[in-house]
């Protein structure tokens, strides 16, 4: 999702980036044209139907003040810059050729019809020498996905894109919303060459009834979908599995964890590292909780995103309520590794390996 921010913010610079190339502004029309000389500077004031041409871009406004000798021009009132399928609208637009700086203010709106994306804010600054654009004033990025029928909305207090370093950054009160996905953090960075998005400072991710949090979250992306999530530092994950008879909840804790996604957007597998703790229980009977501890945990899911099996290794300990062959009971065990298979949301088989110790207590009837 953050890949789209890079594309759109980068395109925001396209209608104006070519100012640095040294091409000339061409005045096409204006209802009035008044030239005055002040301190040796020629000032041209244009009003009504002001139209400038700049290479393949067209700049329109109701008013413009042009300092030819200084290399500056200020546009005001209904400013519209168009270039092919891209449109930039704002209340005021200032350009300084010597400072290599362009500033758009007031109801800034950029729309790209080809990408079906829009970014809005109250101010945008672009420096042609560093190729860096900044959008402030509670900027909002909206990407209309006609294929997935989900609209992507990214909000923050400051959006920047550095075209030299190829880094897009969204800062302060960042939210990303698309369909069932909703994430929060204080800073999000995207590296397009690596297909990597970094969420920092209290990142939290929710997808439907599932959630993920930690000190930092990294999102591994492809052009079409998210392929995995990596969480480091105080990692916590909550996963909800809805069955025909009940709803199962999984709580995972560890120093770090990684979730791999399949092509359908479901969790394919999960890995939890160091100080691992797992809690697995049903909503109807939360006191009958399956627990597991160890150094490494691997969780496998089926194509529908339901838990198939769990393997814990490294001083593994487990407390599982087993249902098999019409008999139920509590299995408390420890060993080098513990393998638990699930069926219909319940543990159906437990296998231990290496230095096995344990007890089994059947449920009383």
DSSP state of 9: H
Q: How far apart are CA 102 and CA 79, in angstroms?
A: 14
Q: Kindly state whether residue 161 falls inside one of the protein's structural domains.
A: no
Q: What is the pTM of this model?
A: 0.74
Q: Kindly state whether residue 175 falls inside one of the protein's structural domains.
A: no
The alpha carbon of residue 62 and the mean position of all alpha carbons in its chain are separated, in whole angstroms, by 38
- Greater confidence, 265 or 91? 91
| Distance in angstroms between the alpha carbons of the first and the last residue of the chain | 53
pLDDT tens for residues 16-34? 333 334 456 788 999 999 9
pLDDT of 195 above 90: no
Q: By residue range, what is the domain housing residue 289?
A: 203-365
pLDDT value at position 156? Answer: 93
Q: How far apart are CA 202 and CA 206, in angstroms?
A: 13
- Greater confidence, 100 or 139? 139
For residues 258 and 248, the answer to whether their CB atoms sit within 8 Å is no
pLDDT of 352 above 80: no
pLDDT of 3 above 50: no
pLDDT value at position 225? Answer: 63
pLDDT band at 146 (very low <50, low <70, confident <90, very high): low
pLDDT value at position 284? Answer: 81
Q: Per-residue b/e over 322-331, b at no fewer than 16 CB within 10 Å? A: beeeeeeeeb
pLDDT of 106 above 90: yes
pLDDT value at position 323? Answer: 63
The chain-wide mean pLDDT, for the chain, equals 80
**Mean per-residue pLDDT for 213-242?**
82
pLDDT value at position 75? Answer: 95
Q: Kindly state whether residue 271 falls inside one of the protein's structural domains.
A: yes
Q: Per-residue b/e over 217-231, b at no fewer than 16 CB within 10 Å? A: bbbbbeeeebbbbbb
pLDDT of 145 above 90: no
pLDDT value at position 23? Answer: 55
Q: Kindly state whether residue 252 falls inside one of the protein's structural domains.
A: yes
Q: Kindly state whether residue 86 falls inside one of the protein's structural domains.
A: no
pLDDT band at 186 (very low <50, low <70, confident <90, very high): very high
Q: Please give the tally of structural domains in the chain.
A: 1
Q: Is 3 exposed, middle or buried (0-12, 13-18, 19+ CB in 10 A)?
A: buried
Q: Range with the lowest mean pLDDT among 18-22, 164-168, 313-317, 350-354?
A: 18-22
pLDDT value at position 267? Answer: 77
- Greater confidence, 300 or 1? 300
CATH number at residue 243: 2.60.450.10
Q: Which among 229, 203, 205 is positioned nearest to 214, based on CA atoms?
A: 203
pLDDT tens for residues 250-296? 888 999 999 888 777 677 888 999 999 988 888 887 777 888 899 99
pLDDT value at position 272? Answer: 93
**Mean per-residue pLDDT for 331-337?**
82
What are residue 186's DSSP bridge partners? none
Q: Kindly state whether residue 124 falls inside one of the protein's structural domains.
A: no
Q: How far apart are CA 81 and CA 64, in angstroms?
A: 13
Q: Range with the lowest mean pLDDT among 48-62, 188-202, 232-246, 338-352?
A: 338-352
pLDDT band at 190 (very low <50, low <70, confident <90, very high): confident
Q: Tell me the two tokens of residue 316.
A: 């593994």
pLDDT of 170 above 80: yes
Q: How far apart are CA 314 and CA 351, in angstroms?
A: 15
pLDDT value at position 8? Answer: 37
Q: Kindly state whether residue 46 falls inside one of the protein's structural domains.
A: no
Q: Kindly state whether residue 138 falls inside one of the protein's structural domains.
A: no
């Amino acid at each position: 999702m953050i890949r789209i921010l890079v594309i759109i913010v980068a395109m925001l610079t396209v209608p104006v980036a070519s100012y640095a190339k040294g091409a000339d502004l061409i005045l096409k029309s204006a209802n009035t044209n008044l030239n005055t000389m002040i301190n040796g500077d020629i000032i041209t004031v244009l009003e009504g139907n002001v139209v400038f041409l700049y290479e393949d871009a067209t700049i329109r406004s109701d008013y413009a003040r042009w300092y030819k000798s200084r290399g500056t021009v200020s546009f005001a009132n209904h400013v519209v810059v168009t270039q092919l399928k891209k449109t930039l609208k704002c209340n005021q637009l200032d350009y300084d050729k010597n400072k290599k700086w362009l500033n758009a203010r007031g109801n800034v709106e950029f729309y790209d019809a080809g990408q079906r994306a829009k970014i809005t804010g109250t101010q945008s600054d672009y420096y042609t020498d560093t190729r860096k654009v900044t959008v402030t004033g509670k900027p909002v990025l909206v990407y209309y996905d006609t294929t997935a029928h989900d609209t992507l909305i990214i909000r923050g207090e400051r959006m920047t894109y550095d075209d030299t370093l190829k880094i897009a950054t969204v800062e302060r009160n960042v939210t990303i919303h698309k369909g069932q996905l909703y994430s929060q953090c204080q800073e999000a960075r995207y590296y397009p060459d690596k297909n990597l998005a970094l969420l920092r400072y209290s990142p939290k991710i929710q997808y439907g009834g599932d959630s993920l949090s930690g000190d930092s979250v990294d999102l591994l992306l492809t052009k079409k979908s998210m392929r995995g999530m990596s969480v480091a530092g105080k990692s916590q994950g909550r996963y909800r599995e809805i069955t025909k008879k009940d709803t199962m909840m999984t709580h995972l804790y560890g120093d770090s964890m990684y979730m791999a996604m399949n092509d359908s957007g479901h969790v394919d597998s999960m890995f939890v590292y160091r100080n691992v703790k797992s809690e697995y229980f049903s909503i109807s009977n939360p006191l009958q909780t399956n627990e597991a501890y160890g150094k490494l945990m691997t969780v496998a899911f089926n194509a529908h995103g339901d838990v198939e099996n769990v393997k814990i290794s490294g001083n593994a300990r487990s407390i599982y309520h087993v249902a098999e062959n019409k008999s139920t009971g509590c299995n408390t065990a420890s060993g080098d590794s513990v393998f638990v298979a699930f069926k219909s949301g319940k543990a159906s088989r437990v296998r231990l390996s290496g230095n096995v110790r344990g007890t089994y207590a059947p449920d009383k009837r």
